[in-house]
Structure 1
Amino acid sequence: MKLLIFGNPLDNRDVLTTFFKSKLVVVDETTDIEEALDLTRFYEYDAVVLRVTDTRPAEIELIRRLRLAGLRCPIMAVAHLLSEATRLRILEAGVDDLIVSAISHEEIFLRVQNQVRRSRGFQSSSLAVGNVEINMNAKKIFVSQTEIGLTKKEYQIVEILALRKGCVLSKEAILDHLYGGLDEPNPKIIDVFICKIRKKLLAAGADDLIQTNWGRGYMIVDRRESELRPTRTAPAQNIMPAPRERSAAG
């Protein structure tokens, strides 16, 4: 996943960004509204997370402006304590979830992840594509309940593509979701990653999920889903037989 986190830390114990990164999440951070708007225009985020308090109205203004700009990914707000008036203003502004007094960073992470998963059309706690299960909680991939040994980067690539099933992602977009613009290697490294992933999945009996779109990038396709989808046939036409010609004797 790739998240944009807006706002200053809520207190000295706020290690939300560090915790998300420990869960293989790429994070961009800003405290400036205009920069946040620019970032959402130029980069695709899986969710936007805002730190909110009763004394900082900028977060509410940002929610409204993001919605007016047409941002479609989940927007979530996190707070320690909030008055009822502030809670109502945040919800009215269009936030997807408001998390107040969460017990742990793990709870925040899971709630954000669940919003991301549902926004991409996956209702189960895992991403199921063909006979492959991507467990986002454990950060592991299974084929017929057998775990596949992928590196962290390989897992991230499968998760990124699975969340955008049916959509082509360029190598540059995949790199951005892996490295967040920091020390990015040559885009050709994505070809190497994809090759290794395919070999591991196919060796385990997985469906051939990753499709190459030459000149554009890669995408995951659920071939079983395509096969189960009923084919549309043209309706039969009611064609009346042509009348026989009468003979001269008739």
Structure 2
Amino acid sequence: MKILSFEAKSHKKDLLTLFLRSRFAIVEETHDADEALDLVKFYDYDAILLHLSEDRMGELEIVRKLRLARVRAPLVAVTSSMNEAARLRVLQAGADDLIVDALSHEEIFIKVQNLIRRSRGFQDNALRLGAVEINMNAKKIYARGKPVTLTKKEYQIAEILALRKGVVLSKEAILDHLYGGLDEPNPKIIDVFICKIRKKLQSLGVDDFIETNWGRGYMVIDHRQDSGTETQHQAAPATAPLRAMA
């Protein structure tokens, strides 16, 4: 998952960012509100973390501006302490959640991850697509109930594609998610990663998890939904309109 972290004033390294990265999240940081607004226009984030403070409520304007920009990603405000009146202002401005005085970074991670998962259409605790299950808490993947041994980058690619099921991601877009524009290797490395993921899944009897959209990139489709759709179409009257082909 890819997260944008905004904090207007910071004089020390953000330990939360370090923790999120240790849990395989790709985190980009900015201390400038205008830069944050520019970034969300060009990049697809899974969540936006806003570090707010009760004594700097002027920063709350960024929440309103992000909402006006029609950002799809959940907006999560994080603060060490905040009175009730200030909390209400944050939520009224459009924040999807407000985390106050969390006991640990793990608590914030799980809350943000749950919001991301639900915003992408997954209601269960895991991402289930066909015979594949992605446990985002454990950062593990299972194929037909058996664990799949993936490297960090391979897992991140599988998770990124799963969270955007039905959407074609170009190799360049996947690279951006993995490296955030820093020291990016040749885009062909994505073909290598995809090939390795496929081979590991095929060894466990799954050969339809990642699909190639020639000339555009890669995508994941939930074949369980396809099966349900096909059944409905087969049962429909002959006069029913045909489904448009993708």
Compute the TM-score of the two structures, normalised by the length of structure 1. Answer: 0.90
Q: Is the 8 A contact 1:51 1:59 kept in 2?
A: no
Instruction: Give 2:94's aligned residue.
Output: 94
Any gaps of 5 or more consecutive residues in structure 1? 238-250
Instruction: Give 1:177's aligned residue.
Output: 177
Larger Rg: 1
> Structure 1 pair 116/138, CA: closer, same or farther in 2 (3 Å)?
same
* Structure 1 residues 8-42: Cα deviation after superposition (integer angstroms, max 9, x where no partner): 57786851111111011111111111100000001
Amino acid at match of 2:217: G
Shift of 1:218: 0.3
Instruction: Give 1:27's aligned residue.
Output: 27
Residues in 1 aligned to 2:223 and 2:171: alpha-carbon distance in whole angstroms: 22
* Structure 1 residues 39-82: Cα deviation after superposition (integer angstroms, max 9, x where no partner): 00011100000111111124310000000111111000001110
Q: Is the 8 A contact 1:3 1:25 kept in 2?
A: yes
Instruction: Give 2:168's aligned residue.
Output: 168
> Structure 1 pair 81/11, CA: closer, same or farther in 2 (3 Å)?
farther
Residues in 2 aligned to 1:8 and 1:21: alpha-carbon distance in whole angstroms: 20
Q: Is the 8 A contact 1:132 1:207 kept in 2?
A: no
Q: Map of 1:1-250 to 2, 5 A cutoff?
A: 1-8=1-8, 14-229=14-229, 230-231=232-233, 233-235=236-238
Shift of 1:235: 4.9
Residues in 1 aligned to 2:219 and 2:42: alpha-carbon distance in whole angstroms: 21
Q: Is the 8 A contact 1:80 1:102 kept in 2?
A: yes
Residues in 2 aligned to 1:213 and 1:207: alpha-carbon distance in whole angstroms: 15
> Structure 1 pair 236/172, CA: closer, same or farther in 2 (3 Å)?
closer
> Structure 1 pair 9/159, CA: closer, same or farther in 2 (3 Å)?
farther
Amino acid at match of 1:227: S
* Structure 1 residues 175-233: Cα deviation after superposition (integer angstroms, max 9, x where no partner): 01111111100001101111111111011112511110011100001223212221164
Secondary structure of 2:55's partner? Answer: coil
Residues in 2 aligned to 1:31 and 1:119: alpha-carbon distance in whole angstroms: 25
Of stretches 58-67 and 182-191 in structure 1, the one that deviates more from structure 2 is: 58-67
Residues in 2 aligned to 1:114 and 1:141: alpha-carbon distance in whole angstroms: 17
* Structure 1 residues 122-143: Cα deviation after superposition (integer angstroms, max 9, x where no partner): 0111100001110000111011
Give RMSD over aligned pairs: 1.7
Amino acid at match of 1:46: D
Amino acid at match of 2:71: L
Shift of 1:236: 5.2
Secondary structure of 1:123's partner? Answer: coil
Identity rate, percent = 60
Any gaps of 5 or more consecutive residues in structure 2? 241-246
Of stretches 139-148 and 165-174 in structure 1, the one that deviates more from structure 2 is: 139-148
Residues in 2 aligned to 1:142 and 1:166: alpha-carbon distance in whole angstroms: 20
Residues in 1 aligned to 2:58 and 2:44: alpha-carbon distance in whole angstroms: 22
Residues in 1 aligned to 2:129 and 2:23: alpha-carbon distance in whole angstroms: 22
Q: Is the 8 A contact 1:142 1:148 kept in 2?
A: yes
Shift of 1:145: 2.2
Larger % of helix: which? 2
Instruction: Give 2:244's aligned residue.
Output: none
